[in-house]
Every structure is written in C-alpha cells, then in structure tokens.
C-alpha cells in the first residue's frame, strides 16, 4: 500500500509531503543530504542543461528504499537530480542517492550511480540500458561551447551541447564501449570471438544503440 508521509530534509529541516512504497519514513530515517539550487544558473547560455522538464518519477534512495510519484528532472550539465520542493529547488548527486527512474519521452529510463566510470567515478549517474553478466550504460551529459547557430561575424555566444558515451560493466570493472571491432578485445577479453560471431549472425551495427543493447542481451543469455 502506498501511504502519505512527511519527510524532513536534513539541509533545510522543512516538512513536505511525498509518497513511499511499503512504509512511512522521514528523511531523518533515510538521511538524504541535498543542496539548494538557483533556478536559472546560466542565463547567458543558449538552451538548457536538462534532459527534459519536470516529470513524475521515482527516487532510488538506496537499493531498498524508493520514493515514488515525485516531480524530478535531470541536470545533464551538473549530473544532478533536481527536485522542486514547494517552490524550493534542491539538488542530489550520485553521492547522495542510489539513482532515479524518470519518463522524459514516454519511455521509462533508469539511472544509477555506484559504477566506477573511468575519469568520472562512482558518484556519477548513468542510464542503465540493460543489466546482467554484462551491463550496458549510457552516460549522457551536456557541456557549454560556442553557439554553432550564431551568425558569422557576430559576437560569440555560448550554448549547451549534448553528448553521450557508452560503457560496459563486467565483474564490477567498467570499460568504455569501443565500437570498432579491433578494440572489442579490451572490453570482452576471452569472449571477443563469441562477440564477433554474434555481430555477424545478428547483423549488429555497433554504431546503433539498439544494436548495442541486442548484443549485450545476447551475451547475457
């Protein structure tokens, strides 16, 4: 049964109402530290740093505690989950929570931290595309660069640009997913020959995200 309950934020010590599955708890029980944020931190930059606008989702407080039915959005520039709590914007990193589930484009997306991503660390949220013996991750992020749509000769302006990287997790080790066939050995080791066979039989295009998922799922079967 889903019950209403009051959480007390450890940062602001203010009360607000959420819903949780299974039991009544407060943030004093689960102890989630967050930080207040500025609503429009980059007014001079074209575009926005978000995956999408606020939508209903779930906060994976830990591997066992989940806050349900709460409006959240994902800041791809800061790799931070944002919650609008009664008009106050609060931010949570992968060091504060285990992950979150969001439906930004009519499809559920699961993000988790705890993977030791090269040069990024365990406190980084990455989308879990498929999970098993091999886990496929997509790291989405935005960065600030010169605006490519600016008129020639005009004063340079800045804009948010999107990018993504893929990683494969095996036995807790995280490898960048190199899509060139000759680089697959660094990721799959002794199973590289099996991977190459599957690529041929399944007509896999390693530049295609859906095909990446199909390959990893086939390896996990």
Q: Which domain holds residue 185?
A: 179-221
132 & 202 share domain = no
Q: Which residue has the higher pLDDT, 86 or 52?
A: 52
**Which residue from 77, 221, 67 is spatially nearest to 142, judged by alpha carbons?**
77
8 & 94 share domain = yes
168 & 198 share domain = no
34 & 88 share domain = yes
pLDDT, tens only, 71-120: 899 999 999 999 987 778 889 999 999 999 998 777 899 999 999 999 99
Q: Which of 143, 160, 177 is the last residue of a domain?
A: 177
Residues 195 and 188 sit within 8 Å (Cβ to Cβ): yes
How many CA atoms within 13 Å lie on the side-chain side of 56?
5
Summarize the confidence of residues 132-156 as an average pLDDT: 87
CA distance 171 to 220: 13
Statement: residue 153 has pLDDT above 60: no
Would you state the pLDDT for residue 205? Answer: 94
Summarize the confidence of residues 193-213 as an average pLDDT: 95
Residue 85 tokens read as 């709590």
Residue 31: pLDDT band with limits 50, 70, 90: low
63 & 172 share domain = yes
Q: Which residue has the higher pLDDT, 13 or 148?
A: 148
**Count of domains forming the chain:** 2
Q: Which of 13-17, 36-40, 77-81 has the lowest mean pLDDT?
A: 13-17
59 & 32 share domain = yes
Q: What are phi and psi of 43, to 5 degrees?
A: -65, -20
83 & 132 share domain = yes
What is this structure's pTM? 0.83
Q: Which of 159, 177, 195 is the last residue of a domain?
A: 177
Summarize the confidence of residues 141-155 as an average pLDDT: 81
196 & 156 share domain = no
**Which residue from 141, 149, 147, 135 is spatially nearest to 216, judged by alpha carbons?**
135
63 & 130 share domain = yes
| Cβ contacts of 180-186, under 8 Å, gap ≥ 24 | 180/206, 181/206
32 & 72 share domain = yes
55 & 162 share domain = yes
Statement: residue 127 has pLDDT above 80: yes
Going by their DSSP bridges, the two strands 55-60 and 173-176 should be labelled as: unpaired
173 & 185 share domain = no
Q: Write the DSSP assignment of 159-191 as a string of letters.
A: EEEEEEEEEEEETTEEEE---SGGGTHHHHGGG
């Amino acid at each position: 049964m889903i019950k209403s309950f009051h959480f007390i934020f450890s940062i602001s010590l203010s009360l607000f109402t959420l819903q949780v599955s299974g039991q009544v708890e407060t943030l004093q029980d689960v102890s989630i530290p967050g930080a207040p944020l500025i609503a429009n931190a980059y007014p001079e930059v074209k575009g926005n740093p978000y995956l999408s606008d606020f939508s209903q989702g779930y906060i994976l407080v830990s591997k066992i505690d989940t806050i349900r039915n709460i409006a959240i959005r994902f800041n791809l520039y800061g790799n931070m989950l944002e919650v609008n709590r009664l008009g106050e914007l609060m931010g949570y990193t992968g060091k504060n929570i285990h992950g979150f589930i969001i439906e930004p484009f009519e499809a559920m997306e699961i993000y988790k931290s705890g993977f030791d991503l090269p040069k990024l660390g365990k406190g980084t949220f990455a989308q879990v595309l498929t999970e098993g013996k091999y886990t496929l991750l997509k790291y989405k992020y935005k960065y600030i660069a010169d605006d490519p749509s600016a008129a020639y000769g005009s004063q340079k302006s800045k804009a948010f640009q999107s990018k993504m990287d893929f990683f494969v997790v095996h036995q807790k080790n995280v490898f960048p997913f190199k899509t060139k066939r000759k680089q697959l050995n660094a990721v799959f080791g002794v199973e590289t020959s099996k991977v190459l066979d599957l690529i041929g039989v399944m007509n896999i295009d390693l530049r295609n995200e859906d095909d990446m998922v199909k390959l990893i799922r086939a390896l996990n079967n």
